Structure 1
Amino acid sequence: MKKISIIKIVCVIALLLGIHRCTSYKKLAPHIFLVKENTSFLNQTLTIGQPLVVEGKRGSQYYGYIYVNGEKKEGYISSRNVIAYVFDESFEKEITSFPDSYKQPLRFLHTLYPEWSYVPLSTSLDFNDTASIFQSKSLIDTDDESMIASPDIIEGQTWCRVSLNASRYFLDPRSGLNAYHALMFEKLTYNPSETLQEGKRMLEGTEMSGIEPQSKKDWAELYRHSAEVNNISMSLLITRAIQEQSGGGLGLRGGHARNNPQGPLFYNIYNIGANTSDQDGIDFAAVRNWDTREKSILYGSKYLADNYITKGQDSLYLQKFDVHNNNPGHHYYMSNIRAPYSEAKNMLRGYISNNIDHAKRILEIPIYSNMPVSNPYPISSDIKYSGTIIKEPYNTYQIADTYKNLTENVDYISIDYPTYRHIVGLNNYYGSCDIPK
């Protein structure tokens, strides 16, 4: 009896400690899984949408790998945190008009969010010419020499002119074709399904949570009303305000007009017209007599709707990169080249927290002429791999032509179908979904 009791105790302790030896390991055919929510993997965070190769399972844990700066990283991840990538033949009709290099990221997005739909915005613009235009008109808050054209400070204490490679990377729509950033392409007219309660949750933890002290109205109500009367997305207004006023910016605190430093305070929640400094934004507000935060939100929303949304710049991407009318660099909202990316992340967080990320959404994605095969992130040591698993960031191939000379499950994953093999690249490769057997 004592022997049996001891054995039972040992097994219970093993279970409590999470020892996997009692659960058999099952080898699986290598397959792509996508991260459903930010999760830890080998002491680093994988963001939503990150693909990894799974080749085994033990209990509720998948065993898989990714490449980080050329090094293979292997480990376990909970099955609750990933979803299997499934190739949807019917979806191919929707993305026929996109170049091949757009298609695999779109397929990943479709697996995560099958409710979203995608339309191409064809431009007649040369990609490199357009990147040069925005390089001369964009700033970035870093001193990394790979990201800046020179160390000269243009604005504030950290904002420098972007490098040409950085301009190419952020302009390239494929850089944003992952779950974390794809909402930069969402069309942003008014969405009646967005509720007041959702607005409140998006503002939680910010300086705009609760009651706005001047109007005595709820901050969320100010944004919800402004969205409705101006036919503009409430999520856009809230994320734009958070982006521009995090840390209590001058547009939120209020400031005096440059020509009347003792005069009344003016507010510019969205920092409209703040081309080189917050003070420019205050002067913009002063001319329009935005002497309350409520006016700033309401009339600032109208300004955004009238000057951007109804003019064809109805996405975060197009408000930075005004390529909708083939005359770029003349009507862009912000100089911060990373703004569409950070605002898209804020918008996704808001959607997820309000359980509306699976609502129907239309994403309009620009296409340029003479696009390079890829535009890698300028800082090669940084992990910027949310759309693909990269082994060698600067080696790019088209799988349709070269996959036979590559190593399966190292360079690409092959998923068998009755008459063809679907190829998924692991190293920034892209290629055909229809490789005849």
Structure 2
Amino acid sequence: MDRERAKNISTIIIVVFLLSIIPFTLLLNRETVAELNFPIEAKVIAVPSLNIRKTPDLSQNAIGSIPTGQEILLLEQTEGQAINGDTNWYRIDFKNQDGYVSAQYVEFAPWDIDLPPTANDQDFENYLEEQGFPYSYRAGLHKLHEKYPNWIFKPIKLNVDFDSAVNGQYKPDSSINFVPATSEDALKSTSSADFNKETNEWIQKEYGWVAASKEIIAHQLDPRNFLDEQHIFQFESLSYNPDVQNWQGIRNQLAGTFMDSDEYANIFYNAAVTSAVSPYHLIARVIQEVSPNGSGSSSGTYPGVEGYYNFYNIAAYGADPIYEGLKFARDGYPKYPAVNERILIPWNTPERSIKGGAIFLGNDYINNLQNTLYFQKFDLRHGPDYWHQYMANVFAPQSESRTIYNAYAREGSLTEPKEFLIPIFTSIPDLPIPYPTGGSGTPNNWLRSISIDGALLPGFQSSTYSYQLEVDAPNSEITIDAIPYNPYAGVTGRGSYFLKEGKNPILITVTATNGEIRNYEIIINYHGETMAEVPRVESTVYQIQQDGNIYGLDPAQNLNLVENALSNITTTDQYSLSIVDLSDQEVTQGSIATGYKLLQKQNDNVVGKYTFVVLGDVNCDGDVDILDVDSIYRYITGYLNLNDVQLLAANVLQDSEVDILDADQIYRSVFGYIKVSQYLEPLSE
């Protein structure tokens, strides 16, 4: 039977046995999607499948699933539970099954902005060239122009390159960009100010919010990721334009919210006229800040600040942002009564809050070089500090733009003239910045400690990765231990080392649960005697390898017993032998497990150390049983790390890798079909 066929058969045997005890994790690839007119076909990008929900949220069990790559029909777009900050869901039809899926897991091939630009409208292409739009912007703009020829796109040329803007927005010591704490790990910052390696947790900057990763900031900062018909509205001019925004559009946008009334429509209309700010933007901002159902900021009943309203959550920050925002609604700027009068402080009615907040937004943001949702989030026009940003949520422009799009769509005015102010950097990468993806788990790959023979490595700090050490001790053998902050992180490089004269480089590698790797290097300059001066132990029964590993612990001959090992392994008269267990405690009887050590001593000093390897005893308990099969399978599937000695014990086929065939051999030996040989020779059937 050839190896591949054997592997397939063995896989079936082992998987059937272990499916009930091995956990599986589905890693979903998420991308930002663009929307089109409905109904329309789309493709599933979730891996390996996408769940269909009865309602647009995760509160109920899935009613079905769709495999990755499958085409589906989108019937309509709706708002639902936020997934990675995106509340966009679609009602779908798949094989006559009606349900909802998150927009995070579908894509539209016709809106792939990586396609080369088309020249179907040469005049428009000439316009883009004259305006200075980079080549990589033009594909998306061409598609928008083809569908909405009355839309006007104007470049806002910035005095900063894209990479510098990203670096300025990513502030590890004082983050100005947040993502929901429930976001996948790839979206969260891992700087020491944002992630606590000792507790293995992200630090919440505000309740439910953590600092955003540099990668998601770059993605959200790249305008090319949002040149589709919904997300383009984060670049729409937020100035009030009565030819575009009207009372009926306001009324339509308020439908289904806690402000669904003519009274609120009149308030927003008057606020727009007074502040010169788009009423559609004002409504979208309120919905973004207090939700369609309202919150304590808009209720007038929040404890301690009853009777005050802050519909836009202005100055709402800190441990209790609603309370702080309502304090501002009550007191404003106590030292500047003229300012308070201008922005209608106190905000003791919904109307004063909406109108006064609109004036505040107009004066401080929209009429101050931040006249788009994008620029209110990313302050790229006030110099290098980027401090004047209205919101911290990196997904806010994306979310609010959909709200504005929906308002236009409901009133049927999408085809009317609109002006979009699109940022242009002095330089930008050739391709749009992708949505960050990565394995689940934390990035914690720091070590808590490194010890040599039980003593902490001198000068050790978790953020220092290189050490040099002088050793003059007569003992040429040392034991290195390394403890990670995250107990689930993988660590290699721990164990015993026999030092040679001169420099001995030792590398300790820590692999975080999300796959990120960190290396610590120790260079030990040894001045004492070397292992070569100590005679090796010998045996006519056991196989003692040059690398110090001992094989041949055959239980059928009781060669796996401590007392037999001590009587069948010899050394010269000036040395003594003893066996220690995995805790370095001396044992004088019982079974030997993988990882037990044979110590060669001279005057109580260890001058030689050998390691026992029991083939098949992967979990180091001295028995070869089904738990060892489980250990190999979990190692193969990435759920368990094995150290070097365990890998030797697992490799019962004695080839170049530990795989499902080794698990199969142990499985068959447990049930008496074969015998696993303890010697370095082919298995006997």
TM-score by length of 1: 0.65
Alpha-carbon distance change, 72 to 166 in structure 1, aligned in 2, over 3 angstroms: closer
Query: Larger Rg: 1 or 2?
Result: 2
Alignment partner, residue 297 of structure 2: 251
CA contact (8 A) 2:241 2:278 kept: yes
Which of residues 162, 165, 176 is equivalent to 1:137?
176
Measured in 2, the distance between the counterparts of 1:249 and 1:293 equals 13
Which of residues 394, 405, 414 is equivalent to 1:337?
394
Alignment partner, residue 10 of structure 1: none
Alignment partner, residue 77 of structure 1: none
Name which of structure 1's ranges 290-299 and 35-44 shifts more when overlaid on structure 2: 35-44
Which of residues 266, 270, 273 is equivalent to 2:308?
266
**Secondary structure class of the residue paired with 2:273:** helix
**What is the CA-CA distance between 1:341 and the residue it aligns to?**
0.5
Alignment partner, residue 222 of structure 2: 172
Alpha-carbon distance change, 230 to 40 in structure 1, aligned in 2, over 3 angstroms: same
Measured in 2, the distance between the counterparts of 1:117 and 1:262 equals 48
Alignment partner, residue 406 of structure 1: none
Matched, 1:356 2:410: no
Which of residues 144, 148, 151 is equivalent to 1:109?
144
Map Cα deviations across residues 309-328 of structure 1 (whole Å, 9 max, x no partner): 11121111111111123345
Measured in 1, the distance between the counterparts of 2:232 and 2:389 equals 19
Measured in 2, the distance between the counterparts of 1:296 and 1:318 equals 23
CA contact (8 A) 1:86 1:111 kept: no
**What is the CA-CA distance between 1:301 and the residue it aligns to?**
0.5
Measured in 2, the distance between the counterparts of 1:252 and 1:360 equals 33
Measured in 2, the distance between the counterparts of 1:269 and 1:322 equals 22
Alignment partner, residue 360 of structure 2: 303
Measured in 2, the distance between the counterparts of 1:124 and 1:220 equals 39
CA contact (8 A) 1:255 1:282 kept: no
**What is the CA-CA distance between 1:124 and the residue it aligns to?**
1.7
**What is the CA-CA distance between 1:134 and the residue it aligns to?**
2.1
Alignment partner, residue 124 of structure 2: 91
**Secondary structure class of the residue paired with 2:156:** strand
Residue type at the aligned position of 2:435: Y
Map Cα deviations across residues 350-390 of structure 1 (whole Å, 9 max, x no partner): 00100111111111111113322221011379xxxxxxxxx
Measured in 2, the distance between the counterparts of 1:152 and 1:264 equals 34
Measured in 1, the distance between the counterparts of 2:219 and 2:255 equals 32
Map Cα deviations across residues 150-187 of structure 1 (whole Å, 9 max, x no partner): 45242454311000000000011111111120011111
Which of residues 219, 237, 248 is equivalent to 2:282?
237
Map Cα deviations across residues 124-146 of structure 1 (whole Å, 9 max, x no partner): 21322221332331101133111
Map Cα deviations across residues 263-284 of structure 1 (whole Å, 9 max, x no partner): 5421110111124422332122
Which of residues 256, 259, 263 is equivalent to 1:208?
259
Matched, 1:120 2:177: no
Map Cα deviations across residues 42-85 of structure 1 (whole Å, 9 max, x no partner): 2364999xxxxxxxxxxxxxxxxxxx9999999xxxxxxxxxx8
Matched, 1:324 2:385: no
Measured in 1, the distance between the counterparts of 2:316 and 2:146 equals 39
Alignment partner, residue 322 of structure 2: 278
**What is the CA-CA distance between 1:262 and the residue it aligns to?**
4.2
What do you get for the CA RMSD once the two structures are aligned?
Answer: 2.8
Measured in 1, the distance between the counterparts of 2:41 and 2:403 equals 20
**What is the CA-CA distance between 1:255 and the residue it aligns to?**
5.3
CA contact (8 A) 1:244 1:270 kept: yes
- Percent same amino acid at aligned positions? 30
Unpaired segments ≥5 residues, structure 1: 1-33, 49-67, 75-84, 212-217, 382-437
Alignment partner, residue 16 of structure 1: none
CA contact (8 A) 2:119 2:125 kept: no
Map Cα deviations across residues 285-319 of structure 1 (whole Å, 9 max, x no partner): 12131111111001001001111111121111111
**What is the CA-CA distance between 1:195 and the residue it aligns to?**
2.0
Measured in 2, the distance between the counterparts of 1:133 and 1:356 equals 38
Unpaired segments ≥5 residues, structure 2: 1-34, 43-70, 78-103, 111-117, 190-194, 196-200, 332-344, 440-685
Measured in 1, the distance between the counterparts of 2:138 and 2:75 equals 22
Alignment partner, residue 187 of structure 2: 147
Alignment partner, residue 186 of structure 1: 236
Which of residues 43, 53, 57 is equivalent to 2:72?
43
TM-score by length of 2: 0.42
CA contact (8 A) 1:123 1:326 kept: no
Measured in 2, the distance between the counterparts of 1:317 and 1:72 equals 24
Alignment partner, residue 579 of structure 2: none
Measured in 2, the distance between the counterparts of 1:210 and 1:227 equals 17
CA contact (8 A) 1:239 1:343 kept: yes
**Secondary structure class of the residue paired with 2:139:** helix
CA contact (8 A) 1:38 1:47 kept: yes
Measured in 2, the distance between the counterparts of 1:180 and 1:380 equals 27
Residue type at the aligned position of 1:269: F
Residue type at the aligned position of 2:188: I
Alignment partner, residue 160 of structure 1: 210
Residue type at the aligned position of 2:310: N
Matched, 1:223 2:268: yes
Measured in 2, the distance between the counterparts of 1:355 and 1:185 equals 20
Map Cα deviations across residues 92-126 of structure 1 (whole Å, 9 max, x no partner): 12211111111111111111211111111111213
Measured in 1, the distance between the counterparts of 2:372 and 2:223 equals 12
CA contact (8 A) 1:264 1:291 kept: no
Alpha-carbon distance change, 156 to 115 in structure 1, aligned in 2, over 3 angstroms: same
Residue type at the aligned position of 1:284: F
Measured in 2, the distance between the counterparts of 1:71 and 1:310 equals 36
Alpha-carbon distance change, 43 to 285 in structure 1, aligned in 2, over 3 angstroms: same
Measured in 2, the distance between the counterparts of 1:73 and 1:129 equals 32
CA contact (8 A) 2:234 2:374 kept: yes
Map Cα deviations across residues 225-281 of structure 1 (whole Å, 9 max, x no partner): 11011111111111111111113222211355xxxx645421110111124422332
Alpha-carbon distance change, 69 to 359 in structure 1, aligned in 2, over 3 angstroms: closer
Alignment partner, residue 375 of structure 1: 433
Measured in 2, the distance between the counterparts of 1:37 and 1:113 equals 16
**Secondary structure class of the residue paired with 2:425:** strand
Alpha-carbon distance change, 144 to 241 in structure 1, aligned in 2, over 3 angstroms: same
